[in-house]
């Protein structure tokens, strides 16, 4: 039961990140390796507003989200827009550079210390044999609401239909009057905002450290690739799948002893690599045929 609860907590965080990634990949066909740093910006700005400045938590969260959105918009203009129409692989390299710059700025401004948005003792609740904090319950519910809202926007609104049309066939969508430039910018900002929300999630549930950015990004991309690139729901399911592997790797005895917690991430990444060697299109990806 505790493993299931832990999977839900870790998977919810990864699912928020992976949703944004899948949107960007589906629409722009680019990888953004600075996404983990957007998460850190959201988390650290919220920490700064709530802890040193003493503002209420909702104000801090709003500030973190707005800052995450602003940074992702600026990042799109500086490190993605000049490159992505020339070649889809260029942003992969330019966003590596951006991740360096953001990492350096975060370390300069917030120092290399662990920070937690909530420093008070958490109220724990027993669910059968499992223990979970009230904050974690709220975060899991919030993820469900956020993913449901994303589904509703994608399937029941005009902007969602435009996004899906661009994912299905960008040139045909453009010929029907959908402004791809505006849509690309919008989707990139939504992805960055979702990452900032995920960063706030980490800051509330655990601790923020400046070196976390790259690991977050790679784990989220592993989920995206394992789920089938561009497939939002595939990425969400793969996020929970990876979280389950991580929990199982260290949560149960293997050949009579427990694996140290430090191997958690390695086991999941190795398994994803093996999975992709067997099925390169991912769990829910389809192979395209070209005439």
Partner 1 sequence: MPDMNFFLHLVISISVVLMNGLPYGLILGRGKILHFGIMGTSLVSTYGIFLVLMNGGGYFLGFIAGLGIAILLALVFSWLAFRLDSDSFGILTIALHLALLAVVLNWIDLTGGAMGIAHIPRAPGLGDPRYFALVTSTVALIWGFFLWKIDRGPLGRRLTALAENPSHARSLGISREKVYTTVFVLSAVGSVLANLFYPQYIGLVHPSDLTFYFMIMYIMFIVAGMGGGIPGVALSCILLTILKEAIRFLPFPSGALGPLRLIVFGMILLVAVYLRREKLFPVPRTV
Would you tell me which residues interact with partner 1 (CB under 8 A)?
31, 78-79, 82-83, 86-90, 92-94, 96-105, 107-108, 111-112, 214-215, 218, 221-222, 225, 229, 260, 262-263, 265-266, 269-270, 272-273, 276-277, 280
In this complex, which beta carbon is closest to partner 1, that of residue 103 or of residue 162?
Answer: 103
246: which 2 tokens? 């991580």
Nearest-angstrom CA–CA distance, 255 and 252? 10
Residue 150 CB, shortest distance to partner 1, in Å, is 23
Residue 100 CB, shortest distance to partner 1, in Å, is 3
In this complex, which beta carbon is closest to partner 1, that of residue 128 or of residue 262?
Answer: 262
Residue 262 CB, shortest distance to partner 1, in Å, is 3
Residue 289 CB, shortest distance to partner 1, in Å, is 15
Beta carbons of 215 and 14 less than 8 angstroms apart: no
In this complex, which beta carbon is closest to partner 1, that of residue 55 or of residue 96?
Answer: 96
Residue 207 CB, shortest distance to partner 1, in Å, is 18
Partners of 130 in the beta sheet? 127
Nearest-angstrom CA–CA distance, 22 and 198? 15
Q: What is the DSSP string of 166-230?
A: HHH-HHHHHHTT--HHHHHHHHHHHHHHHHHHHHHHHHHHS-B-GGGHHHHHHHHHHHHHHH-TT
In this complex, which beta carbon is closest to partner 1, that of residue 139 or of residue 222?
Answer: 222
Beta carbons of 133 and 124 less than 8 angstroms apart: yes
Q: Compute CA 213 distance to the chain's CA centroid, rounded to the nearest angstrom.
A: 11
Element (H, E) at 125: strand 124-127
SS3 254: strand
In this complex, which beta carbon is closest to partner 1, that of residue 2 or of residue 107?
Answer: 107
Nearest-angstrom CA–CA distance, 193 and 203? 15
Q: Which residue has the tokens 């709530």?
A: 50
In this complex, which beta carbon is closest to partner 1, that of residue 139 or of residue 235?
Answer: 235
In this complex, which beta carbon is closest to partner 1, that of residue 7 or of residue 37?
Answer: 37
Nearest-angstrom CA–CA distance, 174 and 177? 5
Residue 268 CB, shortest distance to partner 1, in Å, is 9
Residue 29 CB, shortest distance to partner 1, in Å, is 9
């Amino acid at each position: 039961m505790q493993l299931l609860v832990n999977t839900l907590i870790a998977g919810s965080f990864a699912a928020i990140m992976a949703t944004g990634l899948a949107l960007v990949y589906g629409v722009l066909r680019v990888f953004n390796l600075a996404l983990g740093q957007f998460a850190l910006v959201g988390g650290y700005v919220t920490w700064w507003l709530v802890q040193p400045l003493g503002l209420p938590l909702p104000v801090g969260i709003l500030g973190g989200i707005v800052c995450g959105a602003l940074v992702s918009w600026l990042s799109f203009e500086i490190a993605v827009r000049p490159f992505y129409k020339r070649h889809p692989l260029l942003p992969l390299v330019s966003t590596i550079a951006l991740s360096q710059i953001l990492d350096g700025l975060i370390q300069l401004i917030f120092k290399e210390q662990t920070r937690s948005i909530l420093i008070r003792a958490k109220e724990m609740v027993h669910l059968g044999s499992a223990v979970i904090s009230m904050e974690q319950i709220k975060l899991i519910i919030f993820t469900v609401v956020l993913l449901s809202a994303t589904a509703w926007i994608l399937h029941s609104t005009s902007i969602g239909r435009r996004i899906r049309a661009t994912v299905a066939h960008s040139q045909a969508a453009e010929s029907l009057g959908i402004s791809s430039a505006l849509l690309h910018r919008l989707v990139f900002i939504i992805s960055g905002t979702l990452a900032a929300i995920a960063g706030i999630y980490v800051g509330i549930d655990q601790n923020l450290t400046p070196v976390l950015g790259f690991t977050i990004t790679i784990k989220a991309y592993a989920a995206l690739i394992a789920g089938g690139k561009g497939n939002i729901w595939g990425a969400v399911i793969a996020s929970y799948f990876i979280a389950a592997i991580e929990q199982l790797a260290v949560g149960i005895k293997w050949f009579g002893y427990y694996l140290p917690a430090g191997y958690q991430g390695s086991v999941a990444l190795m398994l994803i690599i093996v999975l992709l060697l067997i099925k390169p299109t991912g769990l829910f990806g389809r192979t395209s045929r070209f005439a």
